[in-house]
Amino acid sequence: MISKKTYHGLIIILGVLIAIGPLTIDVYLPAFVDIATDLQSKISKVQLSLTFYFIGIVLGQIFYGPIIDRYGKKPPLIFGLILFIVTSLLCCFAKNIEQIIILRFFQAIGGCASVVISRAIVRDIFNPQQTAQVFSKLVLVMGLAPIIAPFIGNIILKKYDWRVIFLFLAIYGFICLILAIIKVPETKGFNNDEKISHAFKKYLAILKDRNFVINSLCGSAMMACLMSYMTASPFLYLQYFKTSTTFYSSLFSINALGFVALAQINGILLKKFTIEKILDKLIYIPLFSGICLILVGFIEQQLVLTTILIFILITMCGAINPNTSALALANQGKHTGSASALFGTIQFISATIFSMLTNYLHDNTAKPVCLIIGSCGVLCFITRKFYGYKGRHRLTKKSQETLNQ
């Protein structure tokens, strides 16, 4: 057991590290129009920089998994943060949108190290039920990023060039690097028995755990919902609904606040109920709100209804994702690095596919956006309801015992 002071300190540090992901995504969203204008590009091409960021996260996590299991948590974390800082600085000097797209890809590979490693550290220290509670608390800390990021982006845009946003990210990355070196614990160090050449076999063995697959897919559907919204929201609100950047930033922050609030409610519920019972009740909400959003998409200029339904879906991510994350990693205490990496990869593959679909189906209306985001909520329900029950008792005996404590 760790002390209360150490526990809260660890939550804050890991939250700051994980926040590098949403912060890197959200802080430059208000600058999409400025970037497109300055680099003489279409806004749809600027959106590709976000899609390639997701692709970088997918490949980056696969890359880090076996390296973490062999070399421990700190060396890969430090490497990733240095790469993040360098690519953020290079974005400040980009001369065209193609350079931004490429740099964002490598920026994601650097930044995703902190997400994978933070999740693995939590799994190393806590049992499944406690892990879900810790993930819910982490959302509170990291949730500040999407709340304040758009405002930071707007403040920078009002006083400086959009390039300063990437300078801000480089400074944040440097702060994370100092914390990683001084404060992040090494829960599992170098392991000579772990071979990087065995990475494929290791990933294959993890995929044979039905409990891991079902919960990864269920959480991935909600992650795809969240990321599709992030990708499509600049068009949806700034161009289609023609709202101001201030309104858009405020709305983005409200959604993030709802996301954080639901995560905290989930943490309270976990003190009284098991993860399984909570998930069984929650999955009906994205089902009904997803269906309604799809239908609303076929009605022109429904700003209020569209915004409310998207708000419900986004906030549900805050309650569902910590639970599915904890359950997915429940049996994977032996290879926490690879399991955490594979879990994140599955999530971001889904996010990338759905965010790319929003670009592919783009027709200057709200229909594709509502269809994609709404479908994610429906898929979350289908995965859990029709496939999840078969796998719910596939936790290892040890994991099931700790889950029920």
Tell me the per-residue pLDDT of 215-272, one tens digit each, with 9 for 90 and over. 999 999 998 998 888 878 888 888 888 888 788 878 877 888 888 889 889 989 988 8
**Cα 314–361–45 angle (5° rounding)?**
85
- Annotate 241-268 with b (16+ C-beta within 10 A) or e (fewer): bebebeebbebbbebbbbbbbbbbebbe
Q: pTM of the entire structure?
A: 0.74
Q: Which CATH number fits domain 10-186+198-392: 1.20.1250.20, 3.40.50.720, 2.60.40.10, 2.130.10.10?
A: 1.20.1250.20
Residue with tokens 């889904």, as numbered in its chain: 350
- The low-confidence residues of the chain, meaning pLDDT below 70, are 1-4, 142-143, 146, 189-194, 197, 332-333, 387-405
Cα four-point dihedral sign 235, 49, 230, 171: negative
Cα–Cα dist 208/37, whole Å: 48
In tens, the pLDDT along 76-115 reads 999 999 999 999 999 999 999 999 999 999 999 999 899 8
Cα–Cα dist 307/20, whole Å: 26
Confidence at residue 402, expressed as pLDDT on a 0 to 100 scale: 47
Cα–Cα dist 155/161, whole Å: 10
- Nearest-CA neighbor of 313 among 338, 292, 332? 292
- In this structure, how many other beta carbons lie within 10 angstroms of the beta carbon of residue 334? 12
Phi–psi pair at 297, nearest 5 degrees: -60, -25
Confidence at residue 80, expressed as pLDDT on a 0 to 100 scale: 94
In a 3-state reduction of DSSP, which class is residue 153?
helix
Q: Report CA Rg, the chain.
A: 20
Confidence at residue 393, expressed as pLDDT on a 0 to 100 scale: 43
Cα four-point dihedral sign 382, 385, 386, 388: positive
